[in-house]
Amino acid sequence: MTTEDDATLVRRSLDGDRDAFGELVLRYQDLLFNVALRMTNDREDARDATQSAFLKAWRKLGTFDRRNKFFSWLYRILVNETLNRVRRRRVQVPLDENMIASERSPDEQAEIAETGALVEAGLVRLRREHREVIVLRHFLGMSHGEIGGLLHLPEKTVKSRLYTARQALAQVLRRRGVTSA
């Protein structure tokens, strides 16, 4: 993430340069989409949330404090968008019980686990703050320090949250027979 470049692109965007904003979209769409996808477990919602987040960012660009990191600001917009969509949906995305039905052999279960499908479904069972750190650490590959910067949390808290999040995820997977303690 090149903050200086972001700052330049933001400035150009504020001057009405759509290409500059398009560059910012290109730069961050994968990151945002992956966050939204893991938060919603729904590709359409993830795509819509990502798109809306960028549009809101464009409209509110004038309020962005350029002393801060653009991605951090954008990320908060995305999280709000994602949460709004999840709330609107009003139902928790259930784990696909059929996918983990007991008649599957251990080999089949292992195969499913390998694809990560259950992990993705399991993520939506976690508390939002736990899901968030898992996504940032494991899907976006951010360091504890980067996550702390993004979420305005001390690194120690990030680490502690990650421990708890992984324990919770392990518990979900254990209940589904993917792992056993």
Residues that bind other proteins (CB under 8 A): 13-16, 18, 21-22, 25-26, 29-30, 32-34, 37, 43-44, 47-48, 50-52, 54-55, 58-63, 113-120, 134, 138-141, 162-163, 166-167, 169-170, 173-174, 178-181
Q: Which is nearer to other proteins, 52 or 82 (CB)?
A: 52
144: closest CA among 165, 118, 126? 165
Question: How would you class 70 by CB atoms within 10 Å of its CB: exposed for 0-12, middle for 13-18, buried for 19 or more?
Answer: buried
d(CA 181, CA 178): 10
Provide, rounded to whole angstroms, the least separation between the CB of residue 4 and other proteins.
19
Provide, rounded to whole angstroms, the least separation between the CB of residue 123 and other proteins.
8
Q: Which is nearer to other proteins, 83 or 113 (CB)?
A: 113
Provide, rounded to whole angstroms, the least separation between the CB of residue 150 and other proteins.
17
The residue type of 168 is A
Provide, rounded to whole angstroms, the least separation between the CB of residue 3 and other proteins.
19
Q: Which is nearer to other proteins, 19 or 103 (CB)?
A: 19
Residue 12: its H or E element = helix 3-14
Q: CB under 8 Å to 119, separation ≥6 — which residues?
A: 113, 169, 173
Q: Which is nearer to other proteins, 55 or 101 (CB)?
A: 55
Provide, rounded to whole angstroms, the least separation between the CB of residue 60 and other proteins.
7
Q: Which is nearer to other proteins, 30 or 108 (CB)?
A: 30
d(CA 2, CA 13): 16
Contact 49, 36 (CB under 8 A): yes
d(CA 178, CA 170): 9
